[in-house]
A and B are shown apart, each in its own frame.
Chain A
């Protein structure tokens, strides 16, 4: 696709907005439809678009498959880490009320934020990794 000037210019303009939109969806999850799953897929879509236009190799230079293979379990660990933290604070697994000792609703807020961050990391890297695996096969 190197010759297609319009595609390259348009996608270069689009990709930052895609990532921005992903962040919006991620952080708007508290008040409306949104959250880690959706945001993760949008992040991955931005990179897939980049890979379609500029090639797989160029994308893998930005985010290498090895990095993604670490990012997938890391997201799970962030999620589970919140649960372990609530254990340490004396609550049940993933009982967000325990995170903030002064105000349980702050704890809920922070808990969901952290958990969704983990979800974002895992979902986006899984999606991208799936794309890498299929696109890179047979070369």
Chain B
């Protein structure tokens, strides 16, 4: 029984495990890569974890879209709010990514490199 409980813990929270994995993977890429585009990829993965975190608890197995149906008023439905929130978060993510890439293009034009250590170390910041 003990082992079964542990299995249920691991499998039941699979969405959370994936969320945690995405958070860590995203942050690791941001920290470890010096290439600015790769950093933005990491940032996107990091943001993706949020989408999963919000959307997965909103889903009810067997639930339908949250629309009142005349002859079945007690129909079980999934919570629509997380989807709306995440739609907004996705738009925010797209905007961030687009702005980030635009900045990288400008950095490349100004510095001739998108490697962070080359851009930052070759510059007098004072």
Spell out A's residues near B (CB within 8 Å): 31-33, 37, 123, 130, 133-134, 137
Candidates B65, B98, B101, B105; contact of A33 at CB < 8 Å = B65
CB distance from B60 to the nearest CB of A (A): 16
Closest to A40 in B: B91
| B-side contacts of A137, CB under 8 Å | 105
A37/B105 contact (C-beta < 8 A), A31-B67, A32-B65, A130-B98 known: no
Would you give 13 A-B contacts (Cβ < 8 Å), ordered by A?
A31-B67, A32-B65, A32-B67, A33-B65, A37-B87, A37-B91, A123-B91, A130-B98, A133-B102, A134-B101, A134-B102, A134-B105, A137-B105
CB distance from A15 to the nearest CB of B (A): 23
| A-side contacts of B67, CB under 8 Å | 31-32
Interface centre among B65, B87, B98, B105 (most CB of A within 10 A): B98
CB distance from B65 to the nearest CB of A (A): 6
Closest to A137 in B: B105
| A-side contacts of B91, CB under 8 Å | 37, 123
CB distance from B101 to the nearest CB of A (A): 7
CB distance from A39 to the nearest CB of B (A): 12
CB distance from A110 to the nearest CB of B (A): 19
CB distance from B51 to the nearest CB of A (A): 14
CA distance in complex: A123, B95 (Å) = 11
CA distance in complex: A130, B91 (Å) = 13
Query: With A37-B87, A137-B105 given, can you name 11 additional A-B contacts, CB distance below 8 Å?
Result: A31-B67, A32-B65, A32-B67, A33-B65, A37-B91, A123-B91, A130-B98, A133-B102, A134-B101, A134-B102, A134-B105
CB distance from B112 to the nearest CB of A (A): 13
CA distance in complex: A33, B55 (Å) = 14
| A-side contacts of B105, CB under 8 Å | 134, 137
CA distance in complex: A37, B91 (Å) = 8
CA distance in complex: A130, B99 (Å) = 9
| A-side contacts of B65, CB under 8 Å | 32-33
